Amino acid sequence: MLQVQQVAQSLGINPQTIYFYERIGLIPSPPRSPAGYRLFQPQDVERLALIGRAKTLGLTLEEIREILTLQADQSLTCQEIHDRLLAKVQKIDATIAQLQALKAELLPLVHRCEDIVSAQRPDAECGVLSLPPPPQPGEARAPCG
C-alpha cells in the first residue's frame, strides 16, 4: 500500500489533487493506517492514472465521472467510449468553428489598426473598437466599421 505522497510522486501530480478527487467522489476514500494516513491500493493508483490520462485528452471531470461509473457497473463498452469521445470531438469542432468566426471578425480590425500605424500615425486616436451611437427611434442601424 502507498501513501498519498508516494502516489502523487509516482503519477506526477500534486497530493492536493488526490484529496480533491477523493472529496468530489472520483476516487473512493482509501483505508487509513493506524496513524491516519491514507493507504492506496494498486487499483486506486490505476484509477488515478486513468483520470490523469482522460484529463490530458480534454475530458471534463464530469465526463470522467460518467466513464468511471460505467466502468464500476461493468458496462463500459467500446461503444460507450466511442460515443463519449465522438461527442468530445464534436464539441472541439464547434469550439474551433466559433474561434475561426471570432478570428474572422478580429482580423479586419487588426488590418485597420495596421493601416493607421503604417500611415505614420501610431499615436492617433483609434476608433476601431468604439461603438457607434445608438440608433434613433425608427432609424436603421448602420453597419459597424
How far apart are the C-alpha atoms of 105 and 143, rounded to whole Å?
Answer: 13
Determine the residue type at 35. A
Low-confidence ranges of the chain (pLDDT < 50): 145
**What are the sequence ranges of the domains in the chain?**
1-76, 81-119
What does the chain come to in residues? 145
pLDDT for 134 equals 67
Q: Determine the Cα angle at 94 with ends 90 and 98, to 5°.
A: 170
pLDDT for 74 equals 84
Taking the model in full, what pTM does it have? Answer: 0.68
pLDDT for 15 equals 95
pLDDT for 136 equals 72
pLDDT for 114 equals 86
Burial of 39 (0-12, 13-18, 19+ CB in 10 A): middle
pLDDT per position as a tens digit, 81-98: 899 999 999 999 999 999
pLDDT for 12 equals 95
Candidates 85, 57, 144; CA nearest to 109 is 144
pLDDT for 140 equals 61
Return the CATH number of the domain spanning residue range 1-76.
1.10.1660.10
pLDDT for 101 equals 96
